[in-house]
């Protein structure tokens, strides 16, 4: 990607694929003059740069993201990225294994909260 416009276009496409149109439409529709630059930053750099890199699959990126969010106890983002992980092909079993790793390396309380959130989000998921 050579321009901010290229990054923004690629980022929006990846963001929509991973998070779903409904979430992205809501996030962009709710952007204000104050938050619009942040939405642009997320789209161009989180999605158009990092998630667009060729070194990891989207499933692998989801595993890493779930780990970080669970460890940091970012519960709203964790729920969002649990749904994204399923879109990226992770199974319930793989998600459980990620959270088991969290328990060992980030603490049982963090994993306990993450398992509770995952149970709610994944209810009825394959």
pLDDT value at residue 102: 98
Distance between first and last Cα of the chain:
35
What is the DSSP code string of 56-89?
S-HHHHHHHHHHHHHHTT-HHHHHHHHHHHHHTT
Supply the pTM of this predicted model.
Answer: 0.91
pLDDT value at residue 122: 96
Domains and CATH numbers, the chain: 4-50 (no CATH), 58-122 (1.20.1290.10)
Per-residue pLDDT of the chain (126 residues; tens, 9 = 90+): 579 999 999 999 999 999 999 999 999 999 999 999 999 999 999 999 999 999 999 999 999 999 999 999 999 999 999 999 999 999 999 999 999 999 999 999 999 999 999 999 999 765
Task: Find the helix or strand (DSSP H, E) in which 20 lies.
Answer: none
């Amino acid at each position: 990607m050579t321009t901010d416009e290229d990054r923004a276009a690629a980022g929006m496409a990846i963001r929509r694929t991973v998070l779903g149109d409904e979430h992205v439409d809501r996030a962009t529709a709710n952007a204000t003059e104050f938050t619009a630059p942040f939405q642009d930053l997320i789209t161009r750099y989180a999605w158009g740069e990092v998630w667009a890199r060729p070194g990891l699959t989207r499933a692998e990126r989801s595993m890493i993201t779930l780990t970080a969010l669970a460890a940091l106890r970012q519960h709203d983002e964790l729920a969002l990225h649990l749904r994204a992980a399923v879109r990226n092909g992770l199974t319930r079993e793989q998600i459980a294994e990620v959270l088991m790793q969290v328990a060992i390396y980030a603490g049982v309380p963090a994993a306990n909260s993450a398992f509770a959130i995952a149970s709610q989000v994944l209810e009825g998921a394959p």
